[in-house]
Chain A
């Protein structure tokens, strides 16, 4: 799996590519946690999942864990460009209750 990060004000934009699952999620978790520690002003997490080809409960658990960290800062979680399969598993996992879906990161940045 590949991922990249971009800081925009109080938002951290994470672009994911590949598969987020049991083997790939620990490193991703560690990287995100360090970024949250380093950039304590970040309150909004924007996950660009256009290039995410597969996610399961191991990957979703990592995202949920980071959301909980953000929640303590009063932050919000966004998913952008989720394909129908990814959107379905996110909705089945209850992410629609704690996050918002958008068409692009720039749409979210205008909104927040």
Chain B
């Protein structure tokens, strides 16, 4: 069996699909040797990234969310992309507590992604969309 594998998903930006996305990608990720806590961490990170597409990318309106997950050896890579509004200031958006909806949002989405994944890269263009790439590596249980 090869040590690489990948999946691609395209889903409408519907709030119902956030749970589907995190469950499907976590199921794929479970082909690697994570602890249960690490798998939960991956689910949170996916949930935050896809929720951002639905809420901020498309403002709860119709849109397309593309998700690619792959691994090569112990490295899991998840790319989540929307084609919505984009982010004006990526640095500011990733600050702890930053939110464009202060009444009900905590502004912790990117914080959770950074906390639970080893690498998070955000690229965005106003009016064109946002791509979040997250990487997490399986820890060597002997180290």
Query: Which residues of A line the B interface, CB within 8 A?
Result: 19, 21-23, 29, 54, 56-58, 60-62, 64-65, 84-85, 89, 92-93
Given A56-B47, A57-B48, A92-B115, A23-B37 contact (CB < 8 Å): no
6 contacts between A and B (CB under 8 A): A29-B104, A54-B43, A54-B44, A60-B108, A62-B104, A93-B106
* Most chain B beta-carbon contacts within 10 A, residue among A29, A57, A58, A60: A57
Query: Which residues of B line the A interface, CB within 8 A?
Result: 15-16, 18-19, 37, 40, 43-44, 47-48, 51, 54-55, 103-109, 111-112, 115
Complex Cα spacing A22 to B109, Å:
12
A57 contacts across to B, CB distance below 8 A = 48, 51, 105-109, 112
A56 contacts across to B, CB distance below 8 A = 44, 47-48, 51, 109, 112
Complex Cα spacing A60 to B51, Å:
13
A21 in contact with B47 (CB, 8 Å): yes
Given A29-B104, A57-B106, A65-B103, A22-B112 contact (CB < 8 Å): no
Complex Cα spacing A35 to B20, Å:
30
A23 in contact with B18 (CB, 8 Å): yes
Report the minimum CB–CB distance from A77 to chain B (whole Å). 14
